[in-house]
Structure formats: structure tokens, C-alpha cells
Amino acid sequence: KMKACVLLSLLGYLVAPSGTSVMGRCTVAKKLYDGGLHYFEGYRLENWVCLAYFESKFNPTAVYDNMHGDFTGFGLFQIRNNNWCDHGKNLCHMSCADLLNPDLKKTIECAKIIVKGKDGMGA
């Protein structure tokens, strides 16, 4: 029984998709903290981590097309292209592809611009 269990565990590691860019919760928290988001505009680190989980399940390369076609969400926070990047209003002054980098620098920069607006994190 023990051999079978160990073998199945090892097999699970071998068939796990390679190149998956989903981050662990602690890695996300550290990057967001280091990026200055803890208490930024009154939002605690926990708020940012929760947002990242519910928007992308901690996947900084996630891209979601809205079924009505009015926007596409990019990255950890699923930042929308119609207002914040590329060909929309581009209020973050960056390419949407910049929001897919696992280093999260551009994502954090854009998130700071977004939450300074009247809708805060709701935007």
C-alpha cells in the first residue's frame, strides 16, 4: 500500500502541467507587500491578496475575455483593457501584456492608479 501511495504521488508530480505560472498565496503576498500595497489608499494586504485570489486564482498570466466582448481582463487582478491598458482609455499608460509579467511590477503600478480613483478597489 505504501509503495502504491508513493508511486501515485510521484506520478502526480510528473503529470502536473509544466510552465504553470500560478503563484502561492505567500509569494503573492510578499510581492504585493514589497510593491507597497499594504495600506495603500487604506486597503490592507489581506484585501489585495483576496482580490488576487478571486480575480485570477493567483495566476499573473490569466487573460479573461468578457462574454459580451466589451473588455478583456489581464493578469493577477484582471485589469480591464477598455479603461486601463492598450487601446482603451489606457489610463495606466501601458500595454496589457505588461500586466502578465509574474514580477508584478506593472500590475502593482496600474493597481495603484486604479484605486486612487473614485471607485477605489471597486474599479
Give the residue numbers marked as catalytic: 55
95: which DSSP letter? Answer: -
Whole-Å CA distances, 41 to 22, 53, 58, 96: 27, 20, 22, 23
Instruction: Tell me the residue type at 73.
Output: G
Q: Which residues pair with 74 in a beta bridge?
A: 63, 79
d(CA 77, CA 70): 17
Alpha helices in the chain (DSSP H): 2-15, 25-34, 45-56, 105-115
